[in-house]
Chains A and B, each alone.
Chain A
Amino acid sequence: MIEKHTIIVTVTNRVGILARITGLLAQRGYNIESAIAAPTEDPDIYKIILVVMETDENIEQITKQLNKLIDTIKVIDISHRDNYIVREYIILKVGITPRTRAEVLDLIRVFEARLIDLATDHLIVELTGHVRKIDRFIELLKPFGIKEFVRSGEFAMTEYN
């Protein structure tokens, strides 16, 4: 069964590591839903967080192949683990009219999103939260006419020390 998997790849900060990882997935025919590469508290270590839609068997193969890369320190598929805090960030531009403005602002309040810009015909809002919350936010704003949005892709951290 094809499911969404979030994979955290901890790597040594070497030139081209992102290309190695994305290249490996492309070479074996896997699609990446989202990828974030970012520094960590240790300047030598980067974390790359991938979201991939694949079967469990393929994910096993992907994680093994990722582990095989010389610069990879650790690979964890957190999809079936609940001890991870997973977040996503979105900036979204939605159309407004004098008639719909109040309703849109209400939604923003309910979701505890932050208004960044308010113009006569549109507004820009940012929101951080669990992926499901972001999805729901988009869904509820859709009828008002979403003009553009950009999502960060998932990032995650274990709850344990």
Chain B
Amino acid sequence: MNGAEILIDVLINEGVDTVFGYPGGSVIPIFDVLYRTDTIRFILTRHEQGATHAADGYARATGKVGVCIVTSGPGATNTITGIATAKMDSVPIIVISGQVAAGNIGTDAFQETDMVGLTRSICKHNYLVKNVEELPRILKEAFFIARTGRPGPVAVDIPVNVSNSILANYQYPKDVSLPGYKPVTNGNQKQIEKLARAINEAKRPLLYTGGGIISASASQELLALLDKTNIPIVVTLMGLGAIPADYPTFLGMPGMHGTMAANLALTECDLLIGIGVRFDDRITGKAEHFATQATVAHIDIDPAEISKVIKAHIPVVGDAKKILRELIDKVKPRPRDDWNSRTQSWKDQFPMTYNQANESSILPQYVIDRLNVLAPDNSIIVTDVGQHQMWAAHFYRHRRPRAFLSSGGLGTMGFGLPAALGAAIGCPGQTVITISGDGSIQMNIQELATCAINDISVKVIILNNSYLGMVRQWQELFWDRRYSHTCLKRVSTCPPVCPGPNANCPSDYIPDFVKIAKANHIPGLRATKPSEVDAVLKEGLNQPGPVVMEFIVKSIENVFPMIPPGKPISAIIPGRPA
């Protein structure tokens, strides 16, 4: 078998059913094998970034390793954003890139780029395959590394001559030998006992859970712990869906755009139990003011996350599922008490609201609220990045894990559509809905063609406010309304200084998303008034295939509450000043 055949054999061995990608000179041998393989479905995206996000979306929705194959040079560099996105959110993907022939490496050959050097700091691990003899071992290791421990992207760079070289006695290795890589999964007994004691003694305990719960498939265990202890809980963007949003002690998402209840609970708790979280600055705000009254416990599979940002008094390194199982047995049942009443009172006092009745234009929150009612229960929501992402996080009532996919760490605009495409292929039979903004959608809009051609049924919702809304919001709140280059309607005849939407604004939005949909042979629907929202959603959701639903929403709506960047939680802005 040659290297290309070995690669495809390995993919089949590893249970890969779909590969996303884009061909090119240095991967023709691999694509030649794909041409005669019927076990693997290949999806030709329209851009390598799309392929990488699609593999990522597939992995997030299914829990399996996502795979994409691209060519050397520009093909490889186009995957960079996708790899960095997967790294920040701990998503297992394998990016196979072609490389110029080994003998030409280092000569600045046509479409040569140092892929291993470029991806070193943004992937979990990477390889340059020097000869076909080491290819089976490297691929075995790549899958093992991507899916074990803290999952993450692995890049494998395969020179074209390696793909063409014959390996006489090919056998896919059964085991890996990585003396430097042995993820700890069992939590330390003494630490678990210490944590259980702390929980039993705490007056104001608070659970703070994230994407680690999803990665570890630990939702059931988390719910069991909650049912036994009634501890109030905040869930990060990456962790949404780990528990149903209507769970009684759920206080919402914490952080910069978190709920008042979640943030107040962080401020007042005396025991903070972080599980599968990394105390991101968008959660903590100014670190020295974060959870100052609390003993901090931190359960994580990655030892490097312990005390990285916030000092952990009770660290437990290991697999969240295993540790939670042990913890449940060791904690005492805890009845609902004053602390529960207090956190509930914040929830009642500061609900996430909007007032569509007083608005003639559509409020973005209203669209998501209606979507929440009209979308089937088995829906997977995929977002892009910006205001719409925060509204989708808050106003959609998340029901189950792996059903809310969002670029949390890197904040990659353009993630939504290709990731949704990947999720739709990974989860046939589920409704995949991407919620995007007019800015984000344009960053990978070429993947509409991929959806249309392959009949990938992604429901695309565009909340069009004609602004890069989140940046505009910052400009409004912290930069004295100097809307520098955040208006996507702005044309050359606009005055140099613009205070915001006014009577002289251009009437047309460029491009016309409905026409773009139609150009891709996809139905395009548009709502401009609140009364049209339901009809568009219903019609769009009932379409059998992909569809674009554009909602022209109020252009200067803000995401509240908001903690100003770098400020403590106490500086939270609850809403727009009246």
Contacts and interface: CB of A to CB of B under 8 A. Distances in A.
Nearest to B305: A64
Contacts of B124: 70
Interface stretch (A8-16, A91-99, A101-109, A148-156): A8-16
B49 to A, nearest CB: 22
Interface stretch (B160-168, B178-186, B424-432, B496-504): B178-186
Interface in A63-119: 64-65, 67-73
A61 B308 contact: yes
B180 A19 contact: no
A67 B304 contact: yes
A73 B303 contact: no
Interface centre among B120, B124, B130, B179 (most CB of A within 10 A): B179
A72 B121 contact: no
B121 A27 contact: yes
Contacts of B120: 16, 19-20, 23
A61 B304 contact: yes
A52 to B, nearest CB: 16
A19 to B, nearest CB: 7
A60 interface: yes
A16 B116 contact: yes
Nearest to B307: A60
Given A16-B116, A64-B304, A67-B304, A23 B121 contact: yes
A24 interface: yes
B307 to A, nearest CB: 7
B305 to A, nearest CB: 9
Contacts, number: 40
Contact of B130 (A15, A24, A65, A71): A15
A130 B302 CA distance: 37
A16 B306 CA distance: 27
B289 to A, nearest CB: 18
A137 B363 CA distance: 75
Given A24-B121, A70-B125, A12 B179 contact: yes
B577 interface: no
Interface in B82-132: 116-117, 120-121, 124-125, 128, 130
Size class of the contact patch on chain B: 10 to 19
Contacts of A61: 304, 308
A15 B157 CA distance: 13
Interface centre among A16, A19, A65 (most CB of B within 10 A): A16
B124 to A, nearest CB: 8
A66 B307 CA distance: 16
Given A61-B308, A64-B304, A70 B121 contact: no
B117 A19 contact: yes
B145 interface: yes
A143 B464 CA distance: 73
A57 to B, nearest CB: 8
Interface string B516-552: 0000000000000000000000000000000000000
Contacts of A67: 303-304
Contacts of B145: 70
Contacts of B302: 68
A115 to B, nearest CB: 42
Contacts of A73: 179-180
Contact of B128 (A12, A15, A27): A15
A61 B117 CA distance: 23
Contacts of A15: 128, 130
A69 B116 contact: no
Contacts of A23: 120-121
A83 B120 CA distance: 35
A68 B124 CA distance: 9
Interface in A1-46: 11-12, 15-16, 19-20, 23-24, 27
B3 to A, nearest CB: 18
Interface centre among B117, B180, B304, B307 (most CB of A within 10 A): B180
Given A20-B120, A60-B307, A70 B178 contact: yes
Contact of A11 (B116, B130, B180): B180
Given A60-B307, A61-B308, A71 B180 contact: yes
A19 B395 CA distance: 46
B117 A69 contact: no
A70 B178 CA distance: 8
Contacts of B128: 15-16
Given A23-B121, A24-B121, A70 B304 contact: no
Given A23-B121, A64-B303, A64-B304, A72 B116 contact: no
A43 to B, nearest CB: 14
A12 B124 CA distance: 16
A24 B304 CA distance: 13
B180 A12 contact: yes
A64 B302 CA distance: 9
B304 A65 contact: yes
A23 B120 CA distance: 8
Interface in B158-213: 178-181
Interface centre among B117, B128, B181, B302 (most CB of A within 10 A): B181
A68 B123 CA distance: 12
A33 B479 CA distance: 41
Nearest to B304: A64
Nearest to B128: A15
A68 B306 CA distance: 13
A50 to B, nearest CB: 16
A69 B181 CA distance: 8
Contacts of A65: 304
A146 to B, nearest CB: 37
Contacts of A19: 117, 120
Contacts of A24: 121
Nearest to A63: B304
- 4 nearest interchain CB pairs? A64-B304, A73-B180, A70-B125, A72-B180
Interface of B: 116-117, 120-121, 124-125, 128, 130, 145, 178-181, 302-304, 306-308
22 contacts: A12-B179, A12-B180, A15-B130, A16-B116, A16-B120, A23-B120, A24-B121, A27-B121, A64-B303, A64-B304, A64-B306, A64-B308, A65-B304, A67-B303, A67-B304, A68-B304, A70-B124, A70-B125, A70-B181, A71-B180, A73-B179, A73-B180
Given A64-B306, A67-B304, A73-B180, 12 more contacts: A12-B178, A19-B117, A23-B120, A23-B121, A61-B308, A64-B308, A68-B303, A70-B124, A70-B180, A71-B180, A72-B180, A73-B179
